[in-house]
């Protein structure tokens, strides 16, 4: 295990938004005449990110990034002005569209034929996909979901500021989607000075719960922020992640210490680079601290398990404190949840419920022991039809 410090000098305030100002480009009440506008169809994933730009989760970005920022992100993991930023937020188009677009200043972004945002065209540019995947995923292997996605992208990128006129309406999944301006208000109202963000794309088992509760021993508030959006085949479905977390909070958490908010963006599986991106988004929500997991945002064995911890050394100026908790497991000798920092016992005493093991249990209908999974959670999972992304 690497030598890490759980608690440095605790920052005791809600951090400023990334780059100093919270972006707000949502104009829901405005009526826009799109009759003479050129339009581009955008899928649900990208639409989520357009909304994330609009409501400030991606602050300070105000739109899809241009060539100079794109190259700076890949080369330095920073915007051209030096601000930490590791994931390029881009719009890809085919060549004929790229060339046509330049005759228009305003472009209508449509989703299933409906205008929801306007892009103020700035520039179009070509890019090198191989350079992009090497920088972002440290791999060229097409088995990697991010690499395979990049190789399928269109040949040009279009940049420009955006205005959002209509938010996504997806019923149940929308209920816990909050803008940073709202989460910051709520944090202030609760009087929290230290707020720890927790990223997840999994259903909660007790090891997660114990880790979150260890954080609650130290910090004023816990910001539970599961990622809702495109994931890979075999991952748990969004609706199930949502339902299980609500059950867990209802039954096992002090309500006034926890905020539950969903983050709607796709998993990119960019490991360490994505860990930085995840931290920046939580900073915009108002978190002062962020728990970075072992192999955070990883997939397969593309990244070293602690690469997502190491990368934070390159970002002392990120403005949110990363927390590196060790993983928790059940120890049959300690008779409780423990971790490598406080339990000396060997592998034969350790019980863990890995995602993979849990999947197997779910498929075979066999309920894990009560010391590994809360019965309320197991119940939700067993009753859920088709729990996995297919």
Calpha distance 290→305 (Å, rounded): 17
Q: Is residue 63 within 8 Å of residue 161, measured between CB atoms?
A: yes
Q: Is residue 276 within 8 Å of residue 311, measured between CB atoms?
A: yes
Nearer to Zn ion, 87 or 338 (CB): 338
- Binding track, positions 211-250, relative to Zn ion; x by CB under 5 A: ----------------------------------------
Write down the least CB distance from residue 351 to Zn ion, Å.
11
Query: What region does 9 belong to: left with phi over 0, alpha with psi -120 to 50, or beta?
Result: beta
Nearer to Zn ion, 345 or 360 (CB): 345
Q: Identify the residue whose tokens are 């520039």.
A: 123
**Nearest one of 121, 55, 63, 51 to 89, comparing CA atoms:** 63
Write down the least CB distance from residue 330 to Zn ion, Å.
9
Nearer to Zn ion, 143 or 342 (CB): 342
Element (H, E) at 122: strand 114-126
Work out whether 207 is an interface residue with Zn ion (CB under 5 A).
Answer: no
Nearer to Zn ion, 303 or 325 (CB): 325
Write down the least CB distance from residue 353 to Zn ion, Å.
17
Specify the 3-state DSSP secondary structure of 382. Answer: helix
Calpha distance 61→48 (Å, rounded): 14
Nearer to Zn ion, 218 or 335 (CB): 335
Which positions from 310 through 369 interact with Zn ion, judged by CB under 5 A?
A: 331, 333-334, 338, 343, 345
Write down the least CB distance from residue 334 to Zn ion, Å.
3
Write down the least CB distance from residue 213 to Zn ion, Å.
18
CA dihedral 92, 175, 197, 212 (to 10 degrees): -130
137-144 contacts at long range (C-beta below 8 A, 24 or more positions apart): 137/269, 137/270, 137/271, 137/302, 138/271, 138/302, 138/303, 139/302, 141/302, 143/300, 144/269, 144/299, 144/300, 144/302
Nearer to Zn ion, 57 or 331 (CB): 331
| Alpha-carbon distances of 96 from 1, 106, 121, 358, rounded to whole Å | 52, 17, 15, 48
Write down the least CB distance from residue 337 to Zn ion, Å.
10
Q: Identify the residue whose tokens are 């719960």.
A: 209
Number of residues located near Zn ion, criterion CB under 5 A:
6
Nearer to Zn ion, 253 or 328 (CB): 328
Write down the least CB distance from residue 345 to Zn ion, Å.
4
Which positions from 262 through 281 interact with Zn ion, judged by CB under 5 A?
A: none
C-alpha count within 13 angstroms, C-beta hemisphere, residue 67? 8
Write down the least CB distance from residue 208 to Zn ion, Å.
19
Nearer to Zn ion, 85 or 329 (CB): 329
Element (H, E) at 358: helix 355-364
Write down the least CB distance from residue 321 to Zn ion, Å.
29
Nearer to Zn ion, 344 or 375 (CB): 344
Which letter, b or e, does each residue of 134-148 get, where b requires 16 or more Cβ atoms within 10 Å of its Cβ? ebbbbbeeeebbbbe
Residues that bind Zn ion (CB under 5 A): 331, 333-334, 338, 343, 345
């Amino acid at each position: 295990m690497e030598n890490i410090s759980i608690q440095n000098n605790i920052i005791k305030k809600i951090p400023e938004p990334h780059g100093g100002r919270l972006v707000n480009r949502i104009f829901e009440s405005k009526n826009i005449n799109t009759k003479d506008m050129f339009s581009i169809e955008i899928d649900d994933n990208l639409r989520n990110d357009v909304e994330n730009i609009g409501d400030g989760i991606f602050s300070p970005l105000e739109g899809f990034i241009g060539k100079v920022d794109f190259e700076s992100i890949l080369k330095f993991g920073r915007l051209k002005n030096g601000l930490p930023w590791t994931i390029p937020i881009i719009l890809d188009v085919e060549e004929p569209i790229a060339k046509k677009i330049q005759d228009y200043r305003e472009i209508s972004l449509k989703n299933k034929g409906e205008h929801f945002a306007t892009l103020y065209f700035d520039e179009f540019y070509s890019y090198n996909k191989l350079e992009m995947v090497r920088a972002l995923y440290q791999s060229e292997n097409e088995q990697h979901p991010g690499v395979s996605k990049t190789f399928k992208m269109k040949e040009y990128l279009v940049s420009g500021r955006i205005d959002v006129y209509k938010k996504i309406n997806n019923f149940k999944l929308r209920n816990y989607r909050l803008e940073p301006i709202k989460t910051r208000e709520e944090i202030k109202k609760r009087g929290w000075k230290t707020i720890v963000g927790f990223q997840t794309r999994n259903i909660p088992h007790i090891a997660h719960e114990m880790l979150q509760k260890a954080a609650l021993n130290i910090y004023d508030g816990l910001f539970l922020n599961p990622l809702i959006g495109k994931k890979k085949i075999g991952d748990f479905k969004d609706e199930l992640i949502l339902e299980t977390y609500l059950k867990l909070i209802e039954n096992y958490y002090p309500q006034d210490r926890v905020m539950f908010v969903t983050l709607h963006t796709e998993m990119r599986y960019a490991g360490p680079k994505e860990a930085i991106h995840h931290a920046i988004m939580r900073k915009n929500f108002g978190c002062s601290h962020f728990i970075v997991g072992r192999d955070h945002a990883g997939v397969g064995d593309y990244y070293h398990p602690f690469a997502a911890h190491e990368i934070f050394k390159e970002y002392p100026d990120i403005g949110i404190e990363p927390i590196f908790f060790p993983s928790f497991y059940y120890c049959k000798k300690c008779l409780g949840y423990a971790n490598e920092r406080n339990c000396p016992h060997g592998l034969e005493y350790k019980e863990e419920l890995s995602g993979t093991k849990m999947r197997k249990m779910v498929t075979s209908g066999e309920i894990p022991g009560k010391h590994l999974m809360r019965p309320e959670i197991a119940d939700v999972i067993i009753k859920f039809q088709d729990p996995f992304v297919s």
